[in-house]
Chain A
Amino acid sequence: MAGASSALQSKRPIGKATRDAFGRALEALGGDYPDVVVVDADVSNSTRTEWFGKKYPDRFFNIGIAESNLVGVAGGLASCGKTAVISSFAAFITCNAYDQLRMAVAYPGLNVKVVGSHAGVSIGEDGASQMGIEDVSLACSLPGFVVIVPADEASTRAATKALLDYKGPVYLRTGRPDVPKIYPDEPAPFTIGKANLLRDGSDVTIVANGLMVASALDAADELAGSGIEARVLDMHTVKPIDREALLAAARDTGAVVVAEEHLAHGGLGSAVAMAVAEQHAVPIRFVNIGDTFGESGTPEGLLEKYGLTAGRVVEAARQAVSAKKNG
């Protein structure tokens, strides 16, 4: 039954974690992208940049547990023509080194790829201090940054190639647990700034990213059983947001739900609300962590406790449809 389940309990086949997919993609692409250098702050066996490091030791530097220096070094490498990839836990790299991201990367607009792993409450038992739940908000607040939250392993592979091809600063969010497969085919469709339409529908649009895309699809299945046809958009790029897809969604379906594994403020919900409000205001409902820290627990238990389930998406969709009818 989709209603009570978190994304990790979806009936969809489970694939690799997005951090694993990123690590393998970086390793695989290393030969084709000789300008790529990777700098680590002693978490490469968690973020998976160690696989690149083992294959290309001359282009891999572990500078110790020092995120501020990590970002500054990456800025220096990028200003010498390198594509600098840096990765740490999402919480540490965006919160600890925010000013360095601002000064050494965003302000000069350098070609640095910032990969925040272990994002969201789905990291599980390690608890709130390790959970990046405001990382997307912070990354979106860096002028000129592209911000990407991929849904599964195939789209993470595609995103990794896309961000290496893109010239400029990018934040990519990855997660710890294995997640359901959304895209069975290779390569997954992926264009920076262009949402993927996963399912068409005329009654409501569910805009989701990260592991909430699986919950959005499960929710759409359940809604269809009660006669509500939901459109599902994988909004993997939070910035720049796909205004065209959102405008079409608002016009065609008249109601929107935004689902993300992030704080209520400053993430996908804020970006969608701003775009829809400017272009074609319709009722919007939000599924997210709210305005609170997480805690320790199993990933499934935490996703359920913080309302990141297909059931909550269904509920939100019904409210949005109802608001449309009553509005």
Chain B
Amino acid sequence: MSENVESLQQRAKAIRVDILRSTTEAGSGHPSSSMSAAEVVTALYFGGFMDYDPKNPHWPDRDRFILSKGHAAPVLYAAMAEAGYFPKEELMTLRKLGSPLEGHPNMVRLGGVEASTGSLGQGLSIGVGHALAARVDKKTYHTYVLTGDGELGQGQIWEAAASAAKYGLDNLTCIVDRNHFQQTGAAEEVLNMDPIDGKFTAFGWQTQVINGNDMHEVVTALKRAREVKGRPTCIVSLTHKGQGMLKLLEKLGDTNYHGKPVKPEDLDAAIAEVEAEAGV
């Protein structure tokens, strides 16, 4: 499945609406952390970068997507529903008892989830394991890992970065959703990890810095990542937390908006803002 940029932009809008609806219905969750990554996740699933089969989620040759920032589960679930892993109505069961759409992804209960995450800093190591398995099995699948920027405070990220470089894992791409906020405030103030691209470069990775809310740039960067040989790629994806509802967040006086669903009375305004987003 490979769509053009305009079509991907429409998908990203639909995914943002699903993020808003599902988290408001759940009454909890992390819509702003999910919405910042909507272009990247949409491009991965629908831009021709991943081969997968929703009817056979464990197909061994599939490309993999690991959501290391597990609290952004709503963007993953919205993309998976769009892709046909489960009916879209199920998005409304998010976080409810008995639903496989848990607050953070659980690979046992939802086929197509590649790693159970929610304790930050671990997804890149798991991605290294997937990439090494491909090498052992002489398979050509590619593994993508999406981390947050605050998550880079976990030392395990850098353990994983060093090991991926040691083994020259050009079948591994790490995308850092650089949305500039973490739970208690600005990422630069909580623990400044700048320059992020410089750190990955120093570990031996190919790096790119892009506007991660611009579908053209996202698609171009993911294409380049597939062409790099002999080393893993890190894409530092500069985004806005809550992209798509920034006007609403400004009105609410909370540009971080971490771990809060949009209140039912604000939902229509948020959806209207997503649908009116410039450039689409």
Chain A residues with CB under 8 Å of chain B are: 37, 58-59, 61, 63-64, 66, 68-69, 71-82, 84, 99-100, 102-104, 107-109
| B129 and A109 contact, CB distance less than 8 A | no
For window 147-201 of chain B, which residues contact chain A by CB distance below 8 Å? 155-156, 159-160, 162-163, 166-167
CA distance A102 to B122 in the complex (A): 11
User: Can you list 5 A-B contacts (CB < 8 A)?
Assistant: A73-B125, A80-B130, A84-B129, A108-B115, A109-B108
| A100 and B122 contact, CB distance less than 8 A | yes
Which of these binds chain A: B42-50, B133-141, B203-211, B217-225? Answer: B133-141
| Chain A residue contacts of B133, Cβ below 8 A | 37, 76-77, 80-82
Known: A64-B162, A80-B134. A108 touches B116 (CB 8 A): yes
Can you name the residue of chain A whose Cβ is closest to the Cβ of B60? A81
Interface centre among A71, A72, A102 (most CB of B within 10 A): A72
| Chain A residue contacts of B115, Cβ below 8 A | 75-76, 79, 104, 108
Known: A68-B156, A103-B117, A104-B126. A76 touches B107 (CB 8 A): no
Known: A68-B156, A72-B129, A104-B115. A37 touches B163 (CB 8 A): no
| Chain B residue contacts of A58, Cβ below 8 A | 136
Can you name the residue of chain B whose Cβ is closest to the Cβ of A69? B159
Other-chain contact of B116, A37, A77, A84, A103 (Cβ < 8 Å): A103
What 9 A-B pairs have minimum CB-CB distances, sorted nearest first? A76-B129, A72-B125, A80-B133, A69-B159, A66-B159, A76-B126, A73-B129, A63-B163, A77-B129
CA distance A104 to B126 in the complex (A): 8
| Chain A residue contacts of B163, Cβ below 8 A | 61, 63-64, 66, 69, 73
| Chain B residue contacts of A68, Cβ below 8 A | 121-122, 125, 155-156, 159
| A79 and B107 contact, CB distance less than 8 A | yes
| Chain A residue contacts of B136, Cβ below 8 A | 37, 58-59, 77, 82
Distance in angstroms from A124 CB to nearest chain B CB is 29
Chain B residues with CB under 8 Å of chain A are: 60, 106-108, 114-119, 121-134, 136-137, 155-156, 159-160, 162-163, 166-167
| Chain A residue contacts of B129, Cβ below 8 A | 72-80, 84
| A61 and B167 contact, CB distance less than 8 A | yes
CA distance A77 to B116 in the complex (A): 14
Can you name the residue of chain A whose Cβ is closest to the Cβ of B167? A61
Can you name the residue of chain A whose Cβ is closest to the Cβ of B145? A76
Distance in angstroms from B50 CB to nearest chain A CB is 15
Can you name the residue of chain B whose Cβ is closest to the Cβ of A73? B129
| Chain B residue contacts of A69, Cβ below 8 A | 125, 128, 156, 159-160, 163
Can you name the residue of chain A whose Cβ is closest to the Cβ of B156? A68
| Chain A residue contacts of B159, Cβ below 8 A | 63-64, 66, 68-69
CA distance A75 to B60 in the complex (A): 16
Can you name the residue of chain A whose Cβ is closest to the Cβ of B131? A76
Can you name the residue of chain A whose Cβ is closest to the Cβ of B118? A103
| Chain A residue contacts of B108, Cβ below 8 A | 107-109
Can you name the residue of chain B whose Cβ is closest to the Cβ of A77? B129
Can you name the residue of chain A whose Cβ is closest to the Cβ of B119? A103
| A72 and B132 contact, CB distance less than 8 A | no
Can you name the residue of chain A whose Cβ is closest to the Cβ of B107? A108
| A107 and B126 contact, CB distance less than 8 A | no
CA distance A108 to B132 in the complex (A): 19
CA distance A196 to B52 in the complex (A): 48
| Chain B residue contacts of A82, Cβ below 8 A | 133, 136
| A76 and B119 contact, CB distance less than 8 A | no
